[in-house]
A and B are shown apart, each in its own frame.
Chain A
Amino acid sequence: MLKFTLPLILLLFFSLTLQAQQRKVAGTVTSSDDGNSLPGVSILVKGTATGTTTDIDGNYSLPNISSSTVLVFSFLGFQPQEVLVGDREIINIAMLSTVTKLDEFVVTALGVKRQKREIGYSTEKIGSEDISRSGAPNVINAIVGRSAGVLVSQGDGVEGGTTRITIRGNNNLNGNNQPLIVVDNVPMENTPGLENIGRGVDWGNGVSDLNALDIEDYTVLKGGAASALYGARGANGVILITTKRGKKQKGIGVTYSFDHKITHPYRYRDVQNKYGHGGPISFTEPDFPVDGEGNLLYPGIYGNDKLVLNQEGATSSTSEEFGYYGSAVSWGPEMKGQMIKWWDGEQRAYSPQPDNYKMPFQDGYTQTHNLAASGGSDKGTLRISLTRQDHKPIISNSNYNRTTVNVGTTLNVSDKVKADAVMTYVKFNRLNSPVLGEDWNSFSKGYLYSWPRSYQGIDMQNYQLADGSRNNLEGYPFMYVDKYLWWNYYNNNTSLDRDKYTGSLALTYNVTSWLNLTARAGRDYTIEQKVATSKPTDVIGLMGGSYSSDLSRNNSDNFEFVATAEKTNIFNSKLNIRLTAGANRWDYKYYSIYGHSGTWYYPNMYTFFNYTESVTSLNEIGELVVDEKGDLLKDIAAQEKVKNIRNNSVFSFLNLDYNEYLFLELTGRNDWSSTLPSNSNSYFYPSASASFIASEAFHIQKHLPWLNFLKIRGGASQTASGTDPYQTAFYYTTALFGGDQTSYFPTLIPPFQLKPQRVNSYEAGLNIGMFENRIDIDFTWYYKYSFDQILDLPLPTSSGAPGIRINEGILSNRGIELIVNTVPIQTSEIILKAGLNISRNRNRIESLGDYSDTYVLADIWGLNGPAIALKEGDDYGSIIGYDYLYNEKGERIVNDAGTKYEITDTRVPIGNASPDFTGGVHTELSWKGFRLFTLVDTKWGGDIYCGSYVISLQTGQSPSTLLERDGGGLPYTDPEGNVRNVGIVLDGVYADGTKNDKVVHYYYKYLPNAGGWGKFISTPGILENTWVKMREISLAYSLPGKVCDKLRVFQGLTLSVTGRDLFYIYTTLPDHINPEGVMGSGNAQGFEWASYPGTRSFSFNVNASF
């Protein structure tokens, strides 16, 4: 290419010199960011309509230009520049990218691109660069800390888990509160993922299938007005994703990028490494049991009812005194390397194991390769992209990979008809996702609750015998985890295999200059298979073997037809009008079939067919006798699940625009939902929004030169939604007993009058641009009122059902969002941008209807522990539990023995998970080809119930439990009469109000009064969870365009390094417990239990275009 252009320019040069007065002016336009040439830049001779645009190489030329001509260079996304020609004949321009967000374009409902300035509600856009640079676990996580009012959290676990997204709080008391994700105008299925707060296996949700490298940008539509046109499903906000399309470009049009990310677990819970295994079985100094020959034996965990309380010989039981504790209790003797007879019978040193619970963790990595080709002509464009990602998480036996093929094309069928098609295929394979939280196969629970500080991982190393069969681990002393956890971990595998096809096809027909019709069809089709195999535990290959397969088909079809009529300057006025009307159908179909093997008959055969037939006969008196035990047919038969939903809609919206400073949008939509009864399945909801650019209307800048933009906006809207299918009829549950059918009533009284759930939203905002938009401020206030909410409330079982589904819950959200973007430094060499966003949301439970004032969102142990609940009059996410009993002076009451606090009979609110505010600060420094980006984000305030904290106190693992054991307590006389400084006095008063002064053993500080399973005090587990995090630092370098041109290999080359989730600047949780280790992605946030260590990642990226 260079070969041709150089002579051409020289030729031009010579020809121009011939005409001194009216010359030809030519040059190249590049971007100052990366030096790449910019095609399609418009160049106008100021004051005329004459001009041109740059070609594919960024070159332009204009004939007949005089010296006094001023050229205006403008291009979307860059600051316009005016240049006086003077006597120059070659004018090369480096354009500065737009640093202000005020006049960027955003995609709005139904894919309409609009200038942000004219919109009456709050939107935010994230570009491809932000997404790919961040190295976030998925596309949506890239928004963390960047957007006000959007909360994104990643549940406990390893990479590939579910992501929870909420926009401006929860709109629904229960059920899905996550926004609708729309990819190229086709709504995507995004299930909430793991919702259980206590236990489970997190297989991730649909968001993680989005490929960052295929995304051009995405826009977050926050308010109701923004989402009214996505109907019910948009009630929680909408994230509109646009994927890349091909374009004309230099070179061969191929880009390749490679990314290598290392994930490093670093933030482990602090533990003491001095004292080992042993339960609170005696008040005397902990010691080893001794056998007849004087050998020290492995310490015991559980006492019984022989706990000697005092010198008088009074006894009690350990459970009476200390409640129920896990076998991780590390109240035993000091670990000094003593040789003792271990539980497996071997002599082993009883020595500190400081790293024992780092054992299952390793550094993880993610490798991404992407190859994309794109090109275009007048006839259309095409982009093809292939991405391969391989993940090795921070634990073993859990690898996964993803291959994505994306094809996007536009076709100009004729002058008037355009077609746009996109097709994405994702292949996802994953071997196991870790078992989390409170599960008998969760090793993180093992380390917290079952394995003491002296744990040496013998069961982990010896889970299998030499012949491949399972080691029975005779003498295994730990409880509450599966004795065969490690066998199960390595041998009981589940593999997930997902094929996901999404595609959309749109046809646009510009009937006349003012009328435009679009028809669109989209499909999201997923086939997923989960195969679980358990390896037989014996040598033969029969015992304990199992196989199951769960195959599901998930299909979401979307059809849309939209007509848009547009008229500018109506009756020669400054009024522009646009009217859109359309119809939409959404069909959702889910089907799954699940089957499993029975008692194995064939060795090592993983198939449904592997079951044992039961052989029966009749005995002499006619009774049925089982001769050979086998599987019952009802237990072996495959099971199916079905879910079908249809939603039909018609909608219309009207846009008025007066003189480009007053904008009004009115929308209306009517939905028909199959999930509601016939008398309420049709429902209408409207919205209105307006924006007024005062700075233009009143020419404010004339009076206040520094204020160049001022916009006031506001809107009101309603959205309504249906619910889950199959609630309008009454269904009995059924089973078999004695070979005949049984019928039962369901466990929930169904809603007798089901109506759509509605949300009314109001929003007002102010945009200010100052100092040529070097400072831009966006402030939003909103209020949302959600009513007719469907939720299940608890009833006394004596009513016949433990719950009732009602349709009358009310909650409200009110909040503010502030976004400030600044450009403190801007020269042709250096640009420094800095931004801040902050948001506060109050999500209040107004009413739960007549039947209850509390609704339990989730708990782990039923009534035997704390729960996340909704409580009338309280903010969303109350944590309820058993609290101290206080006297009128607010002092805690202790029992007469001074050993235990008195607690409430029932669970009462003891905390709330709602944060005071969330926010982020980011900076971006560009210098020549370098770009340095930093991001700090914070969650300020809000409580969690921190199970790891409570249990590490209860089990004596926390370093803070060393205080008294090391002699830092009060003098205490044990039952044998020895006095040691191991006593404590509980802070509190007796029932009569006198101060407690009884010195008791330190066990009473940590065991019965810290919490744990059962009806025990929950309050100590409530901790404020505030953190400020260095979320991201990244440095990128782009080879300047000129260098690329010289090398003649690349059209562009960018290298970058990114550190993500680097460290916490500030955190309130003690003992280095993971502040973001809250489990699951359901509505109940605020419960931590045996979370994984915190991780940080570093990635290296190369991006080359050819």
Chain B
Amino acid sequence: MTEMKRFNKILLLLFMISMMVACTKDFNEINTNPHGFTTASDGSLFNGIIESMVLKGDEQFYINNEILYKQTQLAAVTKDAWGNFTIGTEALWDNYYKTLPSIRELEKRYDAAEPSSSINRMKAMLDIVFAYKTFKMTDLFGDIPVSKAGYGFQDLEYLHPEYDTQRDIYLNMLAKLKTADSLLSDTAVEAEPFLSFKAFDKFFKGDVMQWQKLANSLRLRYAMRMVNQEPELAGEVILDVLENNRPILVGYDLASPVLESACLWPAQSGFKNESLNWSFREHNGLRMGSTLWHLLSINDNGDGSGIFDPRAYIFFEPDGNNLWSAFPQVPDLTTPSSGGVPYGEHRDDAGNFNIKGDNCNYSPFNYFLIRDQDYMPIIFITGAEVHFLLAEAYFRGIGVPADRDRADIEYMNGINSSVDWWKKLSRTLQLPLSALKFKDVVSIPQNLNAASVLNHFGSWIATTDEEFLALIYTQCWIDAFRQPWDAYALARRTGLTPRDGGPLNHFRMPYPPSEYQYNSTNCNAAIARQGGDSPETKLWWAKK
């Protein structure tokens, strides 16, 4: 009897266990990652896109410091380069394409949303960043996947995207910028969801006018960049901006400095540009080159007595022997080798600032410029560049009637803006540990200013049209000292930027190995269309 009771109890237990087991109760809860985010706000996605505009270490190291400074001759690579540029091209590719799904997601959201001023503004800001990033990529590689790229998360049909021609990319992105400008012209009072969204805007803190200026300034830049290939289309864009008085970034307004620019300012936006110093410290091969030096100083005097351009003091500093010394842009067998550790973090520590290591016998980049992770901005476009673009447009009569006087004024304002902008910046730069400010360490002689530059590079010294254009390009090139990719574009477009040795024979970056390996059909089609994948292959806009 008791046996049976016990048996029944056990059967009951068995039943209970089976009931418990057979169901999938709590599975949802168990299989939810408590630390995973299943939703993302528009603002947080946008913030990620903005973050992607901060230059990454590998891009700076392997592309800028290894290749672009050398090719543009904005500086000299003193040692044989590491040559493993594929790390850099992969980094560029990663940066652009891993951000693209966020852009596609926001596009999808805005397309689906009820149109409103808020949505328009958000969409416009997104498109401006998208256009900037895309132009930068296509200008380095040529044809790249754009219109079908970045959709992998939305549709599995788009896992191996075809390449767009550079021409299509240019026209599409210029159209996007134009639309963005008009969307941002809406003067409706700011409301939600834009108010929440703009808190995430680390670029302009939701200042719509700044975005509009950036959009139109970029339109000028990229219209000009394709001018040799598409003069009429380029002219239309430039005319549209100027004729309709679209807001643009201004360096000088008549004779008064405005010194506008579009930059990411780390301290203001609350981040640290950590890879900046690494890319110089570990590379350690960049020094002042003879080409730029000879445009900043009238002679090679080591005491700097020949320097007439204050930017020499901002961009570079004397070598380990406290002398100004440029590495020859085209070295020969007799060139003494370069040494030292001028970019080492040891210089942050009190009393160590002047230790540049043994054999630091060429002028390094100014330590503040490559060390200050808080106040040295990441530059996208400056007011000075806009002036130089306008100088070229007026001089060549692109979109607007040719006007030599107007061109002179814009050229002069370009120099004024550039020199003043860099001088102003230099006063804010400081070292992270010591809080040493730039001006306390390297004082720029008082007599050096925009006027001393103009004394040497005033438009009046040009005797031919080509010489004047070369002046414009030279100054635009100097202003782009920390945008070597833009200087590279200028050099390729014009062939008139300063240069020692033979003409430029480097026009693009080869596609990264991952595209060869995983998107071979489309990659090979693009290569065939462009006539090769070597650096010597010219981009569409540089073909003429």
B47 nearest CB neighbor, chain A only:
A742
The minimal Cβ–Cβ distance linking B147 to chain A, given in whole angstroms, is: 11
The minimal Cβ–Cβ distance linking A952 to chain B, given in whole angstroms, is: 23
Q: If A511-B7, A795-B518, A799-B161 touch, does A737 touch B17 (CB 8 Å cutoff)?
A: no
CA A800 to CA B161, docked complex, whole Å: 10
Q: Is B356 an interface residue (CB 8 A)?
A: no
The minimal Cβ–Cβ distance linking B449 to chain A, given in whole angstroms, is: 22
The minimal Cβ–Cβ distance linking B440 to chain A, given in whole angstroms, is: 15
CA A649 to CA B253, docked complex, whole Å: 78
The answer to whether B44 touches A742, judged by C-beta atoms less than 8 angstroms apart, is yes
Find residues 144-172 in chain B having any chain A CB closer than 8 Å to their own CB. 144-145, 149-153, 156, 158-161
Stretch at the interface among B126-134, B235-243, B264-272, B289-297: B264-272
Find residues 718-767 in chain A having any chain B CB closer than 8 Å to their own CB. 725-726, 728-735, 737-745, 747, 749, 752
The answer to whether B268 touches A744, judged by C-beta atoms less than 8 angstroms apart, is no
Q: Is A845 an interface residue (CB 8 A)?
A: no
Q: If A625-B267, A743-B37 touch, does A797 touch B102 (CB 8 Å cutoff)?
A: no
Of the candidates B13, B14, B48, B516, the one whose C-beta lies within 8 Å of that of A737 is B48
Q: Is B39 an interface residue (CB 8 A)?
A: yes
Of the candidates A648, A743, A862, A1015, the one whose C-beta lies within 8 Å of that of B22 is A648
B84 nearest CB neighbor, chain A only:
A1014
Q: Is A678 an interface residue (CB 8 A)?
A: yes
A854 nearest CB neighbor, chain B only:
B517
Q: Is A2 an interface residue (CB 8 A)?
A: no
Q: Is B18 an interface residue (CB 8 A)?
A: yes
The answer to whether A749 touches B152, judged by C-beta atoms less than 8 angstroms apart, is yes
Of the candidates B98, B151, B272, B337, the one whose C-beta lies within 8 Å of that of A304 is B337
Task: Bin the interface of chain A by size.
Answer: 35 or more
Task: Give every chain A residue within 8 A of B26 (Cβ-Cβ).
Answer: 646, 674
Find residues 319-350 in chain B having any chain A CB closer than 8 Å to their own CB. 333, 337
The answer to whether B21 touches A800, judged by C-beta atoms less than 8 angstroms apart, is no
The answer to whether B31 touches A728, judged by C-beta atoms less than 8 angstroms apart, is yes
Of the candidates A650, A674, A905, the one whose C-beta lies within 8 Å of that of B516 is A905
CA A672 to CA B20, docked complex, whole Å: 12
Of the candidates A585, A623, A1014, the one whose C-beta lies within 8 Å of that of B268 is A623
Per-residue A-contact encoding for B1-43, CB less than 8 Å = 1, 0 else: 0010001001001100110111110111011111111111101
CA A648 to CA B20, docked complex, whole Å: 9
Task: Give every chain B residue within 8 A of A319 (Cβ-Cβ).
Answer: 80-83
The answer to whether B38 touches A796, judged by C-beta atoms less than 8 angstroms apart, is no
Stretch at the interface among A16-24, A131-139, A637-645: A637-645
Q: Is B374 an interface residue (CB 8 A)?
A: yes
The answer to whether A726 touches B36, judged by C-beta atoms less than 8 angstroms apart, is yes
The answer to whether A798 touches B33, judged by C-beta atoms less than 8 angstroms apart, is no
Task: Give every chain A residue within 8 A of B156 (Cβ-Cβ).
Answer: 749, 752, 804
Task: Give every chain B residue within 8 A of A519 (Cβ-Cβ).
Answer: 13
Task: Give every chain A residue within 8 A of B299 (Cβ-Cβ).
Answer: none
Of the candidates A320, A646, A743, the one whose C-beta lies within 8 Å of that of B102 is A743
Of the candidates A315, A324, A632, A737, the one whose C-beta lies within 8 Å of that of B84 is A324
Find residues 93-107 in chain B having any chain A CB closer than 8 Å to their own CB. 93-94, 97-102, 104-105
Q: Quick one: which of A626, A649, A737, A801 has the most chain B CB within 10 A?
A: A737
The minimal Cβ–Cβ distance linking B48 to chain A, given in whole angstroms, is: 4
Of the candidates A306, A646, A725, the one whose C-beta lies within 8 Å of that of B33 is A725
CA A800 to CA B513, docked complex, whole Å: 16
Q: Is A336 an interface residue (CB 8 A)?
A: no
Contacts across chains A and B counted by CB atoms under 8 Å: 253
The answer to whether A726 touches B32, judged by C-beta atoms less than 8 angstroms apart, is yes
Q: If A672-B24, A864-B84 touch, does A583 touch B159 (CB 8 Å cutoff)?
A: no
CA A640 to CA B519, docked complex, whole Å: 37
The answer to whether B84 touches A851, judged by C-beta atoms less than 8 angstroms apart, is no
Per-residue A-contact encoding for B498-521, CB less than 8 Å = 1, 0 else: 000000000000000111111110
CA A672 to CA B520, docked complex, whole Å: 42
The answer to whether B47 touches A745, judged by C-beta atoms less than 8 angstroms apart, is no
Task: Give every chain B residue within 8 A of A749 (Cβ-Cβ).
Answer: 152-153, 156, 159
Of the candidates B27, B30, B161, B199, the one whose C-beta lies within 8 Å of that of A798 is B161
CA A627 to CA B427, docked complex, whole Å: 16
The minimal Cβ–Cβ distance linking B394 to chain A, given in whole angstroms, is: 35
A585 nearest CB neighbor, chain B only:
B21
Q: If A798-B149, A906-B516 touch, does A305 touch B80 (CB 8 Å cutoff)?
A: yes
Task: Give every chain B residue within 8 A of A795 (Cβ-Cβ).
Answer: 152, 159-160, 518
Of the candidates A306, A625, A728, A743, the one whose C-beta lies within 8 Å of that of B45 is A743
The minimal Cβ–Cβ distance linking A880 to chain B, given in whole angstroms, is: 10
Q: Is B200 an interface residue (CB 8 A)?
A: yes
A623 nearest CB neighbor, chain B only:
B268
The minimal Cβ–Cβ distance linking A708 to chain B, given in whole angstroms, is: 44
The answer to whether B159 touches A851, judged by C-beta atoms less than 8 angstroms apart, is yes
Q: Is B221 an interface residue (CB 8 A)?
A: no
CA A737 to CA B153, docked complex, whole Å: 24
CA A609 to CA B407, docked complex, whole Å: 62
Task: Give every chain B residue within 8 A of A576 (Cβ-Cβ).
Answer: none
B160 nearest CB neighbor, chain A only:
A796
Q: If A650-B18, A801-B101 touch, does A726 touch B514 (CB 8 Å cutoff)?
A: no
The answer to whether A645 touches B516, judged by C-beta atoms less than 8 angstroms apart, is no
CA A731 to CA B38, docked complex, whole Å: 5
The answer to whether B152 touches A725, judged by C-beta atoms less than 8 angstroms apart, is no
The answer to whether B31 touches A731, judged by C-beta atoms less than 8 angstroms apart, is no
Find residues 779-807 in chain A having any chain B CB closer than 8 Å to their own CB. 794-802, 804
Task: Give every chain A residue within 8 A of B33 (Cβ-Cβ).
Answer: 642, 725-726, 729, 731
Task: Give every chain B residue within 8 A of A737 (Cβ-Cβ).
Answer: 47-48, 50-51, 202, 270-271
Per-residue A-contact encoding for B191-203, CB less than 8 Å = 1, 0 else: 0000000011010
The answer to whether B38 touches A583, judged by C-beta atoms less than 8 angstroms apart, is no
Of the candidates A625, A648, A672, A801, the one whose C-beta lies within 8 Å of that of B153 is A801
CA A645 to CA B26, docked complex, whole Å: 11
B48 nearest CB neighbor, chain A only:
A742
Task: Give every chain B residue within 8 A of A511 (Cβ-Cβ).
Answer: 3, 7, 10
Q: Is A561 an interface residue (CB 8 A)?
A: yes
The answer to whether B30 touches A583, judged by C-beta atoms less than 8 angstroms apart, is no
The answer to whether B102 touches A561, judged by C-beta atoms less than 8 angstroms apart, is no
Per-residue A-contact encoding for B345-360, CB less than 8 Å = 1, 0 else: 0000000000000000
The answer to whether A675 touches B31, judged by C-beta atoms less than 8 angstroms apart, is yes
Find residues 43-90 in chain B having any chain A CB closer than 8 Å to their own CB. 43-45, 47-48, 50-51, 79-84, 86, 90
20 CB < 8 A contacts A-B = A306-B333, A583-B17, A624-B270, A646-B30, A650-B21, A674-B31, A729-B32, A737-B202, A740-B200, A743-B44, A795-B152, A795-B160, A796-B161, A796-B522, A797-B514, A799-B97, A800-B150, A801-B98, A801-B153, A851-B159
Q: Other than A674-B24, A798-B97, give 13 A-B pairs with Cβ distance below 8 A.
A: A320-B80, A561-B14, A583-B18, A623-B267, A640-B35, A725-B30, A737-B50, A741-B41, A796-B145, A796-B522, A800-B101, A800-B149, A800-B152
Q: Which 6 A-B pairs have the closest CB atoms?
A: A743-B40, A796-B519, A799-B152, A742-B48, A731-B36, A745-B101
Interface residues of B (CB under 8 A from A): 3, 7, 10, 13-14, 17-18, 20-24, 26-28, 30-41, 43-45, 47-48, 50-51, 79-84, 86, 90, 93-94, 97-102, 104-105, 144-145, 149-153, 156, 158-161, 199-200, 202, 267-272, 333, 337, 374, 432-433, 435, 513-520, 522-523
